[in-house]
Amino acid sequence: MNTFSTFLKVVCFTLFLFLYFPSQAQDGTYDRVYTIIQDKCATCHSGANPAGNLNFDQSKLDLYNTLIDGIPDNTVAQSKNNKLVDPGYPERSFLLRKLARSDFDTYYQLENSEGAIMPPYGSPPVADKDIELVRQWIMFGAPELDTVVDPQILTDFYENNLGLPFPDRPAAPAAGEGFQIRLGPFFLNPLEEREFFKKHALNLPQNLDVKKLEAHLNAESHHLILYDLTTSATNNYSEGLRDIDEGEFSMVNNSLVAAWQFDGSYELPATTSYKWLTSTNLDLNYHLFNYNATGILPCDVYINIYTEPYNTSPIKMWSMLFPIDASSALITGNFGQSLIIPNNGEETTFTESLIIPNLPFLPFPTGDWHIWMLSTHTHSRGVDYDIYKRNPDGTKGMQLYEGFFNSAYTANQGFYDWSHPTIRFFDDPVLVNMEDGLIHEATYINNTPDTLRWGNTTLDEMMLIFIQFTDTPFSSTGVLNPEELKVPFIAYPNPADENLSVRYQLDQGGQVQLVLYNLMGQKMKTIVDERQGVGNYFYPLNLVKQGLSSGTYFLRLTLDGKQTTRKIVLP
């Protein structure tokens, strides 16, 4: 009985702590947002005549219901379709725009007629980490109960000197020429990898032709993909950032628009365009790895969309993404099942025919495709990727894509660069009858301890191709940046001895990477990965201490997405 009495006392004491000390429980992100608002805003926004006709002196639940989709009192903000809080859209949330000082972020600039930044001048300002907490809460969908960001990562970023630089914001299209979309920022701890999706309602006032898409990504990005959401997916997906586990079937459930693994722009040929209707909603997919061992990475991407009146360029440009096993995925919903790469350190090649039967229910054209663009995607064990026309008897026909070419498809660099795969645009579109189809073939070398299979992280593997085409003939003049980087860049002696000297000169500053690759395109050493200013740079490199054996290597210098490569021979 004594033991049982002791047990009852412990249970009762635990219940007492839970009931009377709820503050010890972990707060959700909105709880912290509520505290910030009460501390910094409620003095003016309370009483019989609150500022802006907005009373913050409410309970947590009542204030939450007031903020979410609430209409601001300011008519200019209303004309911009701002809400007090628009879940998933910081740039359309008037609460954040009133908090975000220009020294915090200029993206949310207020017009004079929208009033002053809050709190007003002379009052204690809101700390950057607290403004960021509000932004993260909104970007992740402004949930009432969930914790969507660890406050410690924001404290470390803004106050403990652990933050890496934000990417530069590019100029947006001029008024009347288009608009800019921003995804981010969200934050990655050192050596952390994340992949997010975000439904993005465009709220277009009219149908538009899209002539050019221009993406500006973190240097650490793995990929950015734009999808056109189907109506059912639009209704099923929640607002705000969602993890890959909630969004990976976008590649088969929705329509591809464009994809990037590095900064660049798709400028469509004359008479062709992407067709965006007033009902169009995008799904933005961003995947990054923070390679820095100590710093916190702010992950940000800007997409410039250049438009013209609807049907100015009448031919629709279609975009498709085909993973291995795409045909069976239409039936089973599973793709990549046959991508099994043994850990034997030898080349393993997968060859697959891509045939599109002439079926009436497919949501894209069948028959003749006029192919304008081809590109590919693997993870770090991919060493080659080729695409061919398929002959009617099933054999390989004309080769359309050689994976060993550089990213702009101007020269054979001798290896497949999985992180910057070549993107081939055809001056004269290639006619392919898709009932005969294509053959795509990827090769891998798996030196890991485990068998590799299809997966979403860079520790897994993938095999897929991107295709842009029309079902109507057209004349192609489109181009893709990045351009070839033209700077003084030398590595000597070459052939190299034990010590290699690398020099380059920059006439403009930016994000610089200097990376050494082997012949198979595997990264051997990152020499530089930082922002650099105008000037001359010199790096001595001891090849023997790097453990390099005799062979051919490549040094790639990248400045804000533009690239140049030097071949190094080590006897």
Is 389 in contact with 453 (CB distance < 8 Å)?
Answer: no
Candidates 21, 24, 32, 23; CA nearest to 144 is 32
365 touches 433 (CB < 8 A)? no
CATH of domain 317-479: 2.60.120
CA distance 194 to 176: 35
Q: Please report, for residues 349, 396, 405, 423, 433, the alpha-carbon distance to residue 439 in angstroms, rounded to integers and kept in the order given.
A: 13, 7, 18, 17, 13
Mean pLDDT for 255-273 is 90
Domain 489-570 in the same topology as domain 317-479: no
Give me the sign of the Cα torsion angle 289, 86, 282, 215.
negative
Q: What confidence score (pLDDT) does residue 18 get?
A: 38
* Averaged pLDDT for residues 493-505: 88
The whole-number average pLDDT for the span 448-455 is 94
Place of tokens 């972020």: 105
The confidence score (pLDDT) of residue 550 equals 81
3-class DSSP assignment, residue 302: strand
Task: Compute the distance between CA of residue 473 and CA of residue 432 in angstroms, rounded to an integer.
Answer: 12
Q: What is the pLDDT of residue 305?
A: 97
What confidence category does residue 286 fall into, taking pLDDT thresholds of 50, 70 and 90?
Answer: very high
- The per-residue pLDDT for 482 is 46
* Token digits of residue 275: 């067709």
Do 349 and 413 contact (CB within 8 A), yes or no?
Answer: no
Provide the pLDDT for residue 327.
74
CATH of range 165-315; options 2.60.120, 2.40.50, 2.60.40, 3.30.70: 2.60.120
* pLDDT (mean) for 345-359: 93
H-assigned helices in 394-466: none
- Which residues fall within 8 angstroms of residue 520, CB to CB, at 6 or more apart? 383, 415, 416, 445
Terminal-to-terminal C-alpha distance of the chain = 84
Give me the amino acid identity at 555: L
Interhelix angle 128-139/29-40, rounded to 10 degrees, is 130
Residues 283-306, mean pLDDT to the nearest whole number: 95
Q: Give CA–CA dist 559/563, Å, rounded.
A: 6
Classify 489-570 by CATH class.
mainly beta
Mean local confidence (pLDDT), 292-307: 96
Going by the DSSP 8-state scheme, the letter that residue 432 receives in this structure is: E
Better pLDDT: 393 or 18: 393
The model's pLDDT over 39-56, given as tens digits with 9 standing for 90+, comes to: 988 888 888 888 888 889
Amino acid at 492: Y
Q: List Cα–Cα distances, 47 to 52, 66, 115, in angstroms.
A: 12, 16, 20
**What's the confidence (pLDDT) of residue 95?**
96
Confidence band, pLDDT 50/70/90 cuts, at residue 134: very high
Mean pLDDT of 195-213: 94
pLDDT of residue 525: 87
Angle at 40 between CA 34 and CA 44, to 5 degrees: 105
3-class DSSP assignment, residue 122: coil
**Mean per-residue pLDDT, 483-500:** 84
Inform me whether the pLDDT recorded for 224 exceeds 90.
yes
Can you tell me the distance from the alpha carbon of 526 to that of 517, in angstroms, rounded to the nearest whole number?
9
Mean pLDDT of 526-550: 89
Weakest mean pLDDT among 139-153, 155-169, 360-374? 360-374
Q: Is 80 exceeded by the pLDDT of residue 11?
A: no
Q: Give the confidence band of 136 by pLDDT, cuts at 50, 70, 90.
A: very high
In the DSSP assignment, the letter for residue 123 is S
Q: Which of 553, 502, 562 is nearest to 527 (CA)?
A: 502
Task: Report, as an integer, the average pLDDT of 25-30.
Answer: 76
From the CB of residue 42, how many other CB atoms can be counted at a distance below 10 Å? 17
pLDDT of residue 4: 40
pTM beyond 0.85 = no
**Which stretch of DSSP H or E encloses residue 309?**
strand 297-309
- pLDDT at position 532 is 93
Report the pLDDT value the prediction gives residue 547, as an integer from 0 to 100: 82
Using an 8 Å Cβ cutoff, are 310 and 247 in contact? no
Per-residue pLDDT at 446 exceeds 80:
yes
pLDDT at 2: 46
For the chain, give every domain's residue range. Answer: 25-158, 165-315, 317-479, 489-570
Overall average pLDDT of the 339-344 stretch: 96
Higher pLDDT: 48 or 340? It is 340
pLDDT of residue 476 exceeding 70, the answer is no
What is the average pLDDT value for the chain, to the nearest integer?
A: 88
* d(C-alpha 43, C-alpha 123), whole Å: 11
**pLDDT value at 478 more than 70:** no
